[in-house]
Structures are given as C-alpha cells and as structure tokens.
Structure 1
C-alpha cells in the first residue's frame, strides 16, 4: 500500500483574502492612472486658458486691435467686436486644432 504525503493547501479564507488584496491593488492602480490622464487633459486646457487670459490682458491695456486673428500649429484664435442690443462686447474664440475643442468668452466693454 502506498502512503500518500499530505499536501499543504490554502484554506478558503486565505484565498479570499489574497483575492481581495489583489483587487484592491488593481483598483488603486486604476484610480491613479485615471487621475494622471485627467491631469494631462487639464494641462492641455490650461494652454487655452493662458492664451485667453493673455488676450483679455492685451485688450484691456489697448495692445490688441480688433478684429484679431492668429493661427498657430495647435490653436486658431479669433477676437471680434460685437454690438448687439447696443451693449458693446468682444468675443474671444479659441479653437484647439488637435481635439477640435472650442472655447468662447464674451466680455462686456465700456466705450
């Protein structure tokens, strides 16, 4: 008769705990990756916000002559004067050529 050696195996509790730990590590890794990708997207939008703030500053200091149009590799910038309902305003429009996102702002001006 052959004597079989007893093989030490993990209990069900140990397997469940190990699985939970692996799932938690995976969930944390996915959350970190998602945060990194969102930050990259916001950084790209930060370029548009920076350009928009520069245009507003230039206009408020009299350095920007309207109508204004500028093309670069990534951005298309347009500034025009609006007069609707006798309220003078300017429209600033920036188009990101890579992702086709358009950001527009209307600013009321005193003239």
Structure 2
C-alpha cells in the first residue's frame, strides 16, 4: 500500500503529474524505519510509545552501543522488516560528535536485503 513520500524532517514532494508524490515498496519501508528511529517517544500523539529517539544519545558516554541496541530493537517493531535474518546495525561515532548509522535488513514486501545509512 502506497503512502505519501516524506523523508524525515523534509517536505512533501510533488510527483510528475503535479499531485503529491507517493512512496511504496522498499522506499516506503526505508521512510518508516527512519521515522521510527528518529521520532522521540511521546512525540507521536496517536502512539506515545512509538519511536527510538536516537538523537538523544549523541554525545553520551557509551552512545554507540546504546544506539545500536535501541535501533536493533525498534527496527524489528516495523512490520515491513523481517526478523530473520536479524537486521545488522553499525554505529560509528565521529570526533566532531556526529554518529553515523548503517542498517542492513530484509524488506518483508520485497524479500530483499535493503541498506539504509544516515547520520545523527
């Protein structure tokens, strides 16, 4: 099922026909995973326990391990992500305080491995 194309923190996009752009398949799964990982708990008023709030870990002692654990737990809550094989989460803290995440998971709809990389 398609949904509006909306990257976390971005704006709605216009499609080639002038309508709102839709997202589906692996792109939709990536949008949902990114939204879940970056949304703070209590910020989504319809589901208060939704979200990992990974941004709060930046600059904290032990942040890479905490981020990896939280990301692994939260990504498995998405119905579009297959639990087996387990998602692979890589976290790399940079000297400037930035934290880079790389996720590898199996998309349930496509049955293929997908990768998602982003920075906090």
Fold in common (TM above 0.5): no
Q: TM-score, normalised by structure 2?
A: 0.38
Q: Which has the higher contact order (CA 8 A, sep 6+)?
A: 2
User: Radius of gyration: which is bigger?
Assistant: 1
